[in-house]
């Protein structure tokens, strides 16, 4: 282990202890900025898989119906054969290349994944190459189709026992993602990829800026602004952005009591919260400029 | 009201235009691909991306606007995957695959290929000897569905017929080709994926496959049809069996890397082997497509033994030359 390794380890150790493992992964770009990616959750990935299967098998079923309809309608021998070939090839390509064709595009996501805000990335941060995408999806053969085959096969006596053993054996592949940090399945391991959250976000208005004129005149004493820390500020931001009347009234009432508000009582809750948000953020940010980050209301420094 | 503005709000106001510009460019790039962007836009994206990254660093240290840092993180992530992601076109990728990647990957797997080949040969020979001694062994090697009446109970004449059956019309052959291709390719992909389970299931598949071949040859050899049946197999077999041997080799390479990763970590070894094996496998699918065509058409239409041997041998030489001809290392 080199000196740099030791230094890096020492530098990252306290942060890791402070930030509990909730699926966030360090992802440092060549420019040296940590993008902090979130690993896709099990439920999201499962729903994405279900969506993809719905799309895939749904369109296959529709395609089969169309082929069968044409077959029943024409009965021409040469056409029937062409239809048979077409059907075989299309279902083969669908089953084996549906995932590949979508994930090998720059977006790195199938329709199901995109709907869940997921995408595939190379675990080392490099470009996601076609061979990696092929590897991760060819592995579905033992992760999805093999267990399904065991599930639907029937037998008696020794056969049943063998099928049972096979099901357990293939089940190990299925539950593999439950036992590693990055929730990678077998295919991800064989390809060096992982699935992360990469949702598209819109730039929202700055609460401290826009409605400032509306709440002008509502001022707080420094002591009143010292009641809360960053964590509460973020909760407050969420409450204002969601804009639920009841929640806002509740939060406003709580803040009024906590800071001992003695100003005019007829200010609307939204105006009050906005004014308090702007005031609190200004105070916490200026503290931050002096090197103090107040985590939450219990953080007295 | 400038003096009342928060520092973080002023920071945002100054840079917001650039962020929105990058956002719009990325949206367009994600929709129509890099090819749909103008030259100037393409040159501008990396600059705007780096600017956004620096904004993100600043925002994290001076701003407590949660939605702003979230937005910048998402914007930078999108920018990162565009700037450092895969951008080559399909045509380029396919050309690169056939010119360089595929043969290189096959060459790199020469050891696994040799093992896979020896395993196949051994099981062919074993099955051959066993069936020659006692014809009942045939049933242990061959699935009755696949045998399709070609078993020790069949008469020599009917066996000979299966080798030279010439269809009355060309009908049915493309269907047969397509069926054989999809069937074989599915099995090959399966053999590859099973490699992850420490090589053993892949080895079993290779032995089964070789055993079946040996049993068939033995059956025909017992009726004095060895030369003819080998020609019948050889037309497409030189391509198909080669492809299956490569699929087995691909499976072995993954299983081996997982079991004995050497100096690398197990995860790195698996990823490296997996990618290389995947390249081989993509090619195996192509080979099996060729084999399916040969099996469906050439074998049924060409009934002269010598011609069958010639076609098979030409293809085998072709594949061997294509894969193993020494070439310059990739830059």
Comparing CA positions, the residue from A236, A130, A147 lying closest to residue B90 is: A130
Q: Is B165 on the interface with A (CB under 8 A)?
A: no
Work out the number of other CB atoms within 10 angstroms of the CB of residue A290. 6
Residues A93 and A172 in one domain: yes
From the list B32, B84, B95, the residue with the least C-alpha distance to B53 is: B84
- Give the residue, B89 or A129, on which the prediction is more confident: A129
Confidence category of residue A12, pLDDT binned at 50, 70, 90: very low
Give percent above pLDDT 70 in chain B.
93
The 10s digit of each residue's pLDDT in B114-127 is 999 999 999 999 99
Task: pLDDT band for A15, please (50, 70, 90 cuts).
Answer: very low
Classify residue B79 as exposed, middle or buried by CB count within 10 Å of its CB (0-12, 13-18, 19+): buried
Residues of A in contact with B192 (CB under 8 A): 138, 141
* Same domain assignment for residues A173 and A217: no
When divided into structural domains, chain A yields a total of 2
Contact A141, B193 (CB under 8 A): yes
Kindly indicate the confidence band of residue B29, based on its pLDDT and cuts at 50, 70 and 90. Answer: confident
DSSP, residue by residue, B103-135: HHHHHHTHHHHHHHHHHHHHHHHHHHHHHHH-G
Q: Say if A17 falls within a structural domain.
A: no
**Span A251-278, pLDDT tens digits:** 988 888 888 888 777 788 888 888 888 8
Quick one: A59 and A172 in the same domain?
Answer: yes
Confidence of residue B328 (pLDDT cuts 50, 70, 90): confident
Of A131, A136, A139, the CB nearest to B279: A131
Helix pair B110-133, B226-259: axis angle to 10 deg? 130
What are phi and psi for residue A201, nearest 5 degrees? Answer: -115, 150
* Model confidence pLDDT, tens digit, residues B51-61: 999 999 999 98
Q: Is residue A22 part of a domain?
A: no
Q: Which residue of B has its CA nearest to A182?
A: B267
* pLDDT value, residue A6: 41
Please classify residue A140 by burial: count the beta carbons closer than 10 Å to its beta carbon, then call 0-12 exposed, 13-18 middle and 19+ buried.
buried
Chain A residues in contact with B74 (beta carbon < 8 A): 198-201
Residue of B67, B175, B279 with shortest CB distance to A85: B175
Question: Whole-angstrom Cα distance, residue B225 to residue B159?
Answer: 9
Using a CB–CB cutoff of 8 Å, tell me whether A214 touches chain B.
no
User: What pLDDT score was predicted for residue B127?
Assistant: 92
pLDDT given for residue A44 in this prediction: 92
Q: What domain range includes position A212?
A: 203-288
Looking at the fold, whether A184 and A227 belong to one and the same domain comes out as no
Nearest alpha carbon to residue B82 among B117, B18, B34: B34
Q: What pTM did the predictor assign?
A: 0.83
pLDDT grade for A57, boundaries at 50, 70 and 90: very high
The verdict on A275 touching B (C-beta cutoff 8 Å) is no
pLDDT value of position A134? 92
- Chain A residues near residue B28 by CB distance under 8 angstroms: none
The lowest-confidence range among A233-242, B5-14, B148-157, B268-277 is: B148-157
CA distance B51 to A58: 44
Average pLDDT over residues B209-224: 87
Residues A175 and A215 grouped into a single domain: no
Enumerate residues 75 to 104 of chain B having a beta carbon within 8 A of any beta carbon in chain A.
75-78, 80-82, 84-87, 93, 97, 101
| Listed ranges A32-36, B1-5, B192-196; the one with the highest mean pLDDT | A32-36
Q: Is A185 found in the same domain as A212?
A: no
Tell me: the pLDDT tens digits for A159-186?
A: 788 788 878 878 888 888 888 888 898 8
Angle between helices A269-289 and A230-242 (to 10 degrees): 150
Q: Looking at the domain assignment, is residue A27 inside a domain?
A: no
Give the 3-state secondary structure of residue A226: coil
Same domain for A167 and A53: yes
Q: What are the backbone angles phi and psi of residue A24, rounded to the nearest 5°?
A: -85, 140
Reported as a pLDDT band with limits 50, 70 and 90, residue B4 is: low
What ipTM, to 2 d.p.?
Answer: 0.86
Which one of A174, A194, A214 terminates a domain?
A194
Interface test with B, best of A135, A184, A194, A218 (most B CBs within 10 A): A135
B187 inside 8 A of chain A by CB: no
Q: Is residue A28 part of a domain?
A: no
Write down the pLDDT at residue B250.
93
- pLDDT 10s digits, A109-136: 999 999 999 999 998 888 888 899 999 9
Q: Which of the four pLDDT bands, split at 50, 70 and 90, describes residue A13?
A: very low
Least CB–CB distance from A288: residue in B62, B267, B270: B62
Q: What is the pLDDT of residue A213?
A: 57
The better pLDDT of the pair A172, A40 is held by: A40
Average pLDDT for residues A220-226, to the nearest whole number?
Answer: 84
How many other CB atoms are found less than 10 A from the CB of residue A67?
17
Same-domain status, A47 and A190: yes
Those of residues 60-89 in A touching chain B at CB distance below 8 A are 77-78, 81-82, 84-85, 88-89
- Quick: pLDDT tens for B228-266: 888 888 888 899 999 999 999 999 999 999 889 889 888
Whether residue A118 sits in one domain with residue A85: yes
Percentage with pLDDT > 90 across chain B: 36
Which of A91, A186, A209 is the closest to B5 by Cβ? A209
Please identify, among A169, A194, A219, the residue that sits at the C-terminal boundary of a domain: A194
- Stretch among A149-153, A177-181, A235-239, B21-25 having the lowest mean pLDDT: A149-153
| Per-residue confidence (pLDDT) for residue A214, from 0 to 100 | 57
pLDDT band at B165 (very low <50, low <70, confident <90, very high): low
- Residue A117 lies inside a defined structural domain of this protein: yes
Residues 6+ away with beta carbon under 8 Å from A243: A270
Residues A151 and A176 in one domain: yes
**Tokens at residue A89, please?**
């090839």
pLDDT digits 0-9 by tens, B128-137 = 999 888 888 8
Chains A and B form CB pairs within 8 A to the count of 212
A228 and A122 belong to one structural domain: no
In a domain, A21, yes or no: no
* Final residue in a domain of this structure, among A164, A194, A224: A194
* A59, part of any domain: yes
Residues A118, A170, single domain; the answer is yes
* Separation between Cα atoms, residue B298 and residue B312, nearest integer Å: 10
Residue A140 lies inside a defined structural domain of this protein? yes
Half-sphere exposure of A192 (CA within 13 A, CB side): 26
Q: Mean pLDDT across the stretch A30-51?
A: 90
Least confident among B4-13, B167-176, B180-189, B260-269:
B167-176
């Amino acid at each position: 282990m080199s000196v740099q390794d030791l230094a890096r380890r020492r530098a990252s150790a306290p942060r890791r202890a402070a930030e509990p493992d909730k699926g966030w992964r360090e992802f440092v770009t060549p420019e040296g900025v940590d993008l902090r990616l979130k690993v896709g959750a099990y439920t999201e990935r499962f729903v994405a898989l279900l969506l993809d299967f719905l799309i895939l098998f749904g369109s296959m079923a529709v395609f089969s119906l169309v082929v069968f309809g044409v077959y029943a309608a024409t009965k021409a021998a040469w056409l029937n054969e062409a239809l048979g070939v077409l059907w075989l090839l299309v279902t083969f390509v669908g089953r084996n290349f549906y995932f590949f064709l979508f994930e090998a595009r720059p977006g790195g996501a199938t329709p199901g994944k995109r709907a869940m805000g997921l995408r595939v990335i190379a675990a080392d941060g490099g470009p996601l190459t076609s061979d990696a995408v092929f590897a991760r999806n060819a592995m579905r053969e033992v992760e999805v189709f093999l267990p399904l085959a065991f599930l639907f096969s029937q037998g008696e006596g020794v056969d049943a026992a063998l099928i049972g053993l096979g099901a357990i054996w293939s089940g190990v592949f299925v539950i593999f993602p439950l036992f590693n940090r990055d929730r990678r399945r077998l295919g991800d391991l064989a390809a060096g990829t992982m699935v992360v959250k990469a949702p598209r976000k819109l730039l929202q208005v700055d609460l401290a800026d826009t409605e400032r004129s509306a709440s002008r005149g509502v001022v707080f004493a420094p002591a009143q602004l010292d009641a809360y820390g960053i964590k509460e500020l973020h909760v407050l931001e969420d409450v204002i952005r969601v804009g639920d009347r009841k929640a806002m009234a509740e939060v406003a009432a709580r803040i009024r009591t906590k800071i001992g508000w003695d100003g005019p009582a007829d200010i609307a809750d939204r105006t009050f919260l906005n004014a308090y948000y702007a005031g609190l953020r200004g105070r916490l940010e200026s503290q931050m400029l002096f090197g103090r980050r107040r985590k939450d209301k219990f953080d007295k420094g | 009201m400038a003096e009342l503005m928060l520092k973080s709000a002023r920071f945002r106001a100054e840079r917001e235009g650039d962020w929105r510009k990058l956002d719009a460019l990325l949206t367009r790039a994600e929709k129509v691909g890099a090819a749909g962007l103008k030259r100037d836009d393409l040159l501008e994206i990396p600059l705007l991306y780096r600017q956004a990254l620096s904004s993100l660093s600043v925002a994290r240290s001076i701003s407590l606007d949660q939605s702003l840092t979230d937005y910048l993180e998402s914007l930078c992530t999108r920018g990162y995957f565009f700037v450092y992601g895969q951008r080559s076109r399909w045509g380029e990728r396919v050309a690169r695959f056939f010119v360089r990647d595929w043969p290189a990957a096959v060459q790199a797997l020469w050891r696994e290929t040799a093992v896979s080949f020896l395993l196949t040969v051994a099981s062919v020979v074993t099955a051959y000897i066993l069936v020659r001694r006692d014809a009942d062994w045939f049933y242990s090697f061959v699935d009755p569905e696949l045998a399709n009446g070609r078993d020790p109970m069949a008469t020599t004449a009917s066996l000979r017929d299966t080798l030279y059956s010439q269809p009355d019309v060309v009908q049915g052959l493309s269907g047969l080709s397509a069926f054989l291709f999809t069937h074989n390719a599915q099995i090959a992909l399966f053999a590859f994926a099973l490699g992850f389970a420490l090589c053993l299931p892949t080895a079993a598949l290779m032995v089964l496959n070789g055993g079946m071949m040996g049993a068939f040859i033995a059956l025909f050899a017992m009726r004095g049809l060895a030369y003819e049946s080998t020609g019948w197999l050889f037309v497409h077999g030189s391509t198909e069996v080669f492809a299956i041997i490569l699929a087995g080799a691909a499976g072995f390479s993954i299983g081996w890397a997982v079991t004995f990763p050497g100096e690398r970590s197990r995860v790195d070894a698996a990823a490296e082997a997996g990618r290389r094996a995947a390249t081989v496998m993509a090619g195996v699918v192509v080979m099996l497509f060729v084999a399916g065509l040969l099996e469906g058409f050439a074998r049924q239409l060409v009934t002269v033994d010598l011609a069958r041997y010639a076609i098979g041998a030409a293809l085998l030489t072709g594949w061997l030359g294509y894969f193993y001809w020494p070439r310059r290392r990739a830059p």
